[in-house]
Amino acid sequence: MPLLPSRVASANDPTSPFPLNNLPYGVFSTRSAAPRCGVALGDKVVDLHALEGSGLLNAGAGKPVFDKPSLNAFMGLGKPYWARVRSRLQALLAEGETRVLPNAALVPLKNVRMHMPFKVAEYTDFYAGRNHAFNVGSMFRGPENALPPNWLHIPIGYNGRASTVVVSGTDIHRPLGQMKPHGSETNIFGPCRRLDIELEMGAVVGTGNPMGKPVTVSEADEMIFGYVLLNDWSARDIQAWEYQPLGPFQAKAFATSISPWVVTRAALEPFRCSTPEREHELLPYLREPKPMLYDIDLSVRMRPEGAASATTLSRTNYKEMYYSAAQQLCHHAIGGCAMRTGDLLGSGTISGPTKEERGSLLELSWGGKEPITLDTGETRSFLEDGDEMTLEGHASGDGYRIGFGDCVGKILPAPAERNWG
């Protein structure tokens, strides 16, 4: 599919992340407009509430859905409604279209503040990138025992914390916590010393399933509204001490950042690709009837406090995952777990096979043994206060890109210690 030309000229630039082919959804406000739903188009945000108010757009729910400070009402309507709105917007915003848009309908992106695009019902994080699992497993158990016995059979996941999922641009406090540093006889309390990122994609559940009613992989795919970039901030020293036997807890609970824009499944359709060849055939319930991964280029940049520019630390691709989000969602519901509008599923860290494709500092610095040199000449094993991390991602079409908007977060010092007693 080629570029769809838009009446918004900036959307026709082949390097724009937001052509008419994309139309990612987000929640924005301006000095005069309370948070509401919009789509990005070139250097503009299309105010869907304004279009709805003018009668040009009708999601079909019988009442407004875009006046709200979250996408949940619209997402909950389901696929036929998503398709109708997309088709209507692509017509209204096409090049040569002359219907008059309300004055307030096109807002310059530089004038808006982005908010969390949806209310996160629950957040689940997976561990479904084989290179990442192999790298981390090798560091801790040696390459022979790197993958746990279940790894090639189950998309391994754990429940994360929804209350601290934040939108790009939100600063992140270094967490306090309990840890037992390497070589130390005793456990201690204090600020995390091995603070890390994880480069992930997040799948956003649009429509759910009732408790006790599992879904197939195909049904799961249809339940997904769209995808975001996701940074699963991680406190490696807290994690190492706490994670046995029940998994990561406070090491992951302090923050998860997502991109401001949710790119729809419809926009990503041309970029579907297959999961890698299976070493063991999956059980029937997990087999994909068609390609359900996506070819999306991803990168990680770090900018230390005060530096003029950022250093690119890693470049990889979402297609490195061993399991797709549809497989993860199917597995998530297979025991009868109810999934709901607004559930967020992190893919797991995305690392390619080479060193330059690793999606976490833990892997890039090999557990701190091989510090990374930045363009500024500084070195890093883990994050320092003031470091700003940016995830970027886009799919590349024929003369256009499908982008997510950067996912940015900067590290602030740990909260002051208190008199805990």
**Integer angstrom CA distances of residue 37 from 117, 163, 184, 260:** 8, 21, 51, 11
The amino acid occupying position 96 is: G
The tokens 């777990």 sit on which residue?
337
Contact pick of 10, 90, 250, 312 for a second copy (by CB under 8 A): 250
State whether the Cα torsion 142-144-145-148 is positive or negative: positive
Q: Min. distance of Cβ 251 from a second copy in angstroms?
A: 8
Question: Taking CB under 8 A as the criterion, which residues in 4-63 touch a second copy?
Answer: none
Asked whether 79 and 43 are in contact (CB, 8 A), the reply is no
Q: Which of 193/315 has CB closer to a second copy?
A: 193
Q: Quick count: other Cβ atoms within 10 Å of Cβ 8?
A: 21
Q: Min. distance of Cβ 118 from a second copy in angstroms?
A: 16
Measured CA to CA, the distance from residue 131 to residue 363 in angstroms comes to 10
Using rule CB under 8 A, residue 301 touches a second copy: no
Question: Taking CB under 8 A as the criterion, which residues in 93-132 touch a second copy?
Answer: 121-122, 127
Using rule CB under 8 A, residue 213 touches a second copy: yes
DSSP state of 118: S
Residue 200 is assigned to a ligand binding site: yes
Using rule CB under 8 A, residue 230 touches a second copy: no
Using rule CB under 8 A, residue 184 touches a second copy: no
Residues in contact with a second copy, shown as a per-residue x/- string from 342 to 381 under the rule CB under 8 A: -x--------------------------------------
Contact pick of 156, 224, 329, 361 for a second copy (by CB under 8 A): 156
Q: Min. distance of Cβ 288 from a second copy in angstroms?
A: 10
Residue 378 is assigned to a ligand binding site: no
Using rule CB under 8 A, residue 88 touches a second copy: no
Contact pick of 84, 153, 272, 355 for a second copy (by CB under 8 A): 153
Three-state SS across 199-254?
Answer: EEEEEEECCCECCCCCCCHHHHHHHEEEEEEEECCEEHHHHHHHCCCCCCCHHHHC
Asked whether 71 and 116 are in contact (CB, 8 A), the reply is no
Using rule CB under 8 A, residue 142 touches a second copy: no
Nearest to 2 by CA among 25, 21, 28: 21
Q: Min. distance of Cβ 320 from a second copy in angstroms?
A: 19
Question: Taking CB under 8 A as the criterion, which residues in 252-291 touch a second copy?
Answer: 253-255, 283-285, 287, 289
Question: Which two three-digit tokens encode residue 408?
Answer: 């940015």
Contact pick of 244, 277, 306, 309 for a second copy (by CB under 8 A): 244
Which three-class secondary structure state does DSSP give residue 110?
helix
Residue 141 is assigned to a ligand binding site: yes
Residue 25 is assigned to a ligand binding site: no
- Phi, psi for residue 216 in degrees, rounded to 5: -85, 170
The answer to whether 132 is a known catalytic residue is yes
Measured CA to CA, the distance from residue 390 to residue 168 in angstroms comes to 9
Residue 398 is assigned to a ligand binding site: no
- Of the candidates 49, 132, 331, 332, the residue annotated as catalytic is 132
Using rule CB under 8 A, residue 303 touches a second copy: no
Give the residue numbers annotated as catalytic, written as ranges.
Answer: 132
